[in-house]
Amino acid sequence: MRTSKEQSAIKRGTSGIELLAVNPNTVARVLPLLLLMLTAPLTANAQFNYLTNGGTITITGYTGSGGALIVPDTINDLPVTAIGDSAFKGKALTSVMIGTNVINIGSSAFNVCSILTSVTIPNKVTSIGDLAFSGCESLVNFMLPEGLTNIGTRAFGACANLTSMTIPGGVTSIQDWTFVSCTGLTNISLPASVTNIGSSAFFHCTSLTSMTIPDSVTTIGTNAFMFCLSLTNVLIPDSVTSLGSGLFYQCSSLANVSIGNGLTAIEDSMFYECTNLIKLTIPSSVNSIRSGAFYRCTALASITIPDSVTSIGTEAFYRCTNLTNVTIGKRVTSIGNYAFVGCTSLINVTIPSSVTNVGTSAFQSCTRLKGVYFRGNAPKIDGSTVFSGTVYYLPGTVGWSGAFGGRPTALWKPVVQTSDGNFGVRTNQFGFNIAWASGQTVVVEARTDFTDPLWLPMQTNTLAADTFYFSDPAWANCPSRFYRIRSP
């Protein structure tokens, strides 16, 4: 017997014909759900444009409305192995989960997805293309896959909210501009597999505070850390043989830099306006300090230029206003134009005999400079206003006249140091330091009566360094003792 709420259906079975009662309201509810379940994969996949190639799928475009996106493992039972160039460029995605079969993420794949905050990438991915996530300024959560071997140029450029990044061990190169303007990046870990850091790789990463470069790295490109305003500490290992120009350009917080012994040149503008750099040891492998290398490093107090260096470039130490002490190595042959101009704290500078050319205004406007001391013959000079202070020359050298480079000249003589701790009685002997130029011979003479015209030689010494200590064991045997020093 049927009620008004039931319908009959005939079912043919093994035992004959059976009458099946079905509720019409149940059919109305279940049938749309079944249809939705059958069509859901087709509807989800319909938002992707894709190509089939050799039994795999490359997604080439997206027509969906944005929001949270799941890139499927398969489409039409074929594995999705690649996200093509510009596939999701500029789309309003908030999060992305990439299917487990994807191996390659193409150039500009998610470029300028400005509200994208998180991305999950499977470990099968080996390559992230140029500009892949560039301009994803809201991106915060990002973990690179373990299988990754290639990160393209500008791959994460202008990802302003990205705070840290760990590069996996298969990556060998940080490409040019990879992290340019990642202004929120404070920490990045590089593996021992990396051999190259490209030009402008971390350009304008204004929150990056420190950088440890692994021993595997051999080259660091031009402007690699330019405008990294918070960078304070950098250790460059011995493995690095080439550093690009402008490397730390305007890294105004940089205070401590250790440079390994593999480097051959301090390049153009390498430390340009690193205004917090106080001291730097230049390794003996360096043979050239190039133009603007320490331009306006206003905190730099002391610099020793090793004997390996042969040239100092134009404006190399331009307006290093706190520089009080400079030691110039014995192999330097040329000092460029404006090399030390405006170094207002310099008091004395010694120029080695190897120097044959001094450029225009090399030591001009060094307002506290009292003397420039030349160890050798007069070099060629460019211009008439090269120096501040008096120019001193050694006995026996040639090419000097009453003025040189716009300044008066005088004979450089040995000097008794009376203001240091060695002047006076030590271990029952009177003594003092004599300052002059290494290689020069000085004679110490004495007499007991100041009116006596006869000076007796006490000691003749050829200086092994720029000072030597003289002591008189017989000074206590005399009621008085007077000393003088001279060259032979």
Helical H runs in 408-468? Answer: none
The full DSSP string for 407-453 is EEEEE---EEE-SSTTSEEETTEEEEEEE--TT-EEEEEEES-TT--
pLDDT band at 1 (very low <50, low <70, confident <90, very high): very low
Contact 288, 266 (CB under 8 A): yes
Highest mean pLDDT among 1-10, 44-53, 200-209, 422-431: 200-209
SS3 content of the chain, % helix, strand, coil (to 5): 5, 30, 65
**For residue 297, what are its two tokens?**
């490093």
Closest to 75 in 3D by CA, of 54, 95, 104, 46: 46
Q: What is the mean pLDDT of the chain?
A: 91
Note the pLDDT tens digit of each residue in 228-270: 999 999 999 999 999 999 999 999 999 999 999 999 999 999 9
- The region of weakest confidence among 106-110, 313-317, 387-391 is 387-391
For 287, counting Cβ atoms within 10 Å of its Cβ (0-12 exposed, 13-18 middle, 19+ buried), the class is middle
- The region of weakest confidence among 22-26, 51-55, 64-68 is 22-26
Note the pLDDT tens digit of each residue in 265-292: 999 999 999 999 998 999 999 999 999 9
Q: What distance lies between CA 420 and its chain's CA centroid?
A: 40
| pLDDT at 25 (0 to 100) | 53
**For residue 464, what are its two tokens?**
């092994």
Instruction: Tell me the C-alpha distance between 78 and 76, whole Å.
Output: 5
Distances, alpha carbon 163 to alpha carbons 166, 234, 483, in Å: 11, 19, 69
Instruction: Tell me the C-alpha distance between 8 and 89, whole Å.
Output: 56
| pLDDT at 44 (0 to 100) | 65
What pTM was computed for the model? 0.85
Selected from 3.40.920.10, 1.10.3720.10, 3.80.10.10, 3.90.245.10, the CATH number assigned to the domain covering 264-412 reads 3.80.10.10
- The region of weakest confidence among 43-52, 196-205, 332-341 is 43-52
**For residue 215, what are its two tokens?**
């021993």
| pLDDT at 40 (0 to 100) | 43
**Every domain of the chain and the residues it spans:** 7-43, 264-412, 415-486
Amino acid identity at 169: G
For 21, counting Cβ atoms within 10 Å of its Cβ (0-12 exposed, 13-18 middle, 19+ buried), the class is exposed
Contact 358, 333 (CB under 8 A): no
Parallel/antiparallel/unpaired status of strands 429-435 and 424-426: antiparallel
The full DSSP string for 2-26 is --TT-EEEEEEETTEEEEEEE-HHH
CATH 2.60.40 fits 415-486, yes or no: yes
